[in-house]
Structure 1
Amino acid sequence: MADELIDILDKTGKLTGEVKLKSEAHRLGLYHASVHIWFYTKKGEVLLQKRAYNKDTYPDLWDVSVAGHIEAGETPENSAIREIKEEIGLLVSKTNLDFIGIYLSKKTPKPNLYDNEFHHIYLSQLEVPITSLLLQEEEVSDIALIHYNVLKEHLQDSKQSKIYVPHNVTYYNLVLNKIINRLQ
C-alpha cells in the first residue's frame, strides 16, 4: 500500500493548491478527497469487500464495494475507474458510474490518524458474477453479496454492526436509499 500524493482541500471541499502525501494528510487531519463505489445487483444485493488484515484503518472489516483516495490532479471519475480496476479487476466506463453525491466524513480510526475525507460516491450495477472478480490482495481479502435489507438489519444490530467499517448511519442510509430507488 503505497503512500500516494493527494490534493489537499479546505473545509468546504475546495482545492487549496497544496499536495501532500496521504500519510501526512492523515497525520495532520487535512481535508482530502476519496471515491466510494457501491455495486449492486438487480436482485437488491450489495457487493461488499472485506478489508485486508494489514490495512492501517479498519482491517478485516466489511466495507464499501470499492474505495480509494483521489490522487493529486486526478478527477473523481478517473479515480473511481482506476480503483475499481485495481481492487476488483473490473473494467468500467464513466457511463457505468452513477454519481450520487459528496459526503464529508470525519473519523479518527486510531490515535494520530485523522481521516477527514470528502467521499465522492458512485453507484454501479454489477452485471458479472463475483467469481469473475480479481481481488487486489494488499487491499481486499474477500468479497460478498448481501441483500440491502440484511445489511440494514446488521447495521442496526449492536453486535452485527461491529463487522462493518463504522461509517455514519446517515452515510449508510443515503447509499442504501439511492440503491433501493434504482431498483424500483
Structure 2
Amino acid sequence: MDELIDILDKSGKLTGESCLKSVAHKHGYYHATIHAWLYTKDGKILMQQRGFTKKTYPGLWDVSVAGHVHAGESIEDAALREIKEEVGLTIKIHQLHKVAIRKGERKHPNGILDNEFYHVFIVELKQPIAHLKKQDEEVAAIQLFDIEILKSTNENISMVPNTSEYFQFIFSEIQSIL
C-alpha cells in the first residue's frame, strides 16, 4: 500500500513535508517506521515470514511486526495500528515498551532507497499464537521461535539481513525482563 508519510531530516526531525511512501523510497527521503518484537514469558519471540509479493525481502523471516508511520500519526499509534493489522492483536499503549530509535540506510537491489528511523518496541505476547490472525497481503506466516535464534541469526532460518549487533540488542532487552 502506498501510504502518505512524513519526511524527516538526517537527524530524525520532522521537516513539515509529507509524500507517498513510494516517493520517499525513490528519492531516499528519511521517514519513521516501527519495529515491534513480541515475546513470551517462556523465552519465545514471534516472527513473521514476509509475504512473497513484498518488494523487499519477500519470504524471509522478520521482526514480529514492522511498518511505516503515517503522516501526522504518533509513533505509538502507528505501533498499535501495525500490531493490529499484521497479527490481529489489540493491545493498549502501556503495553508498548520502547527500547530504541535506530537509523537505517539501505539501498535495495530493486532501487528502493530505504532511509528510516525505526522506533523499536518490545511487547509481551500474552495470547496463544492460535488466537492471532495474520494479514494475508503482508504476512505469509507467523511462528514462535526460541529467543536464542537472535544469537544465531541466519544459521537456521532465512532472516531479513540485520546487523548481529541489532539482534543481540533485542535479545538482551528481552532477556533482561524474562
The reply to whether TM is greater than 0.5 is yes
Counterparts of residues 133-144 of structure 1 (less than 5 Å): 133-144=132-143
Matched, 1:179 2:174: yes
User: After TM superposition, where is structure 1 displaced by more than 2 Å over at least 4 residues in a row?
Assistant: none
Q: Which residue of the partner structure matches residue 113 of structure 1?
A: 112
Q: CA RMSD in A?
A: 1.1
TM-score by length of 1: 0.93
2:71, 2:82 → 1: CA distance? 14
Q: After superposition, where does 1:70-109 map in structure 2 within 5 Å?
A: 70-109=69-108
Residue-by-residue CA offset, 1:73-104 (whole Å, 9 max, x unaligned): 00000000000111111100101100101011
Amino acid paired to 1:117? E
TM alignment of 1:50-69, pairs within 5 A: 50-69=49-68
Structure 2 letter corresponding to 1:23? S
**In structure 1, what is the Cα distance between the partners aligned to 2:7 and 2:164?**
26
Please say if residues 36 and 65 of structure 2, whose CA atoms lie closer than 8 Å, have aligned partners that are also in contact. Answer: yes
One-letter code of the match for 2:87?
I
Question: What percent identity do the matched residue pairs reach?
Answer: 47
Residue ranges of structure 2 left out of the alignment (5+ in a row) = none
* Residue number in structure 1 paired with 2:160: 165
TM-score of the superposed pair, with normalisation by structure 2? 0.96
Would the aligned equivalents of 1:58 and 1:109 in 2 still touch at CA under 8 Å? no
Quick one: structure 1 residues 178 and 128, their matched pair in 2 at CA, closer, same or farther if it must change by over 3 Å?
same
Q: Is the 8 A contact 1:98 1:122 kept in 2?
A: yes
Q: How many residues align?
A: 178
1:156 Cα offset (Å): 6.2
Instruction: Kindly indicate which of the two structures has a greater share of residues assigned to helix.
Output: 1
Deviation of the 1:35 alpha carbon: 0.6
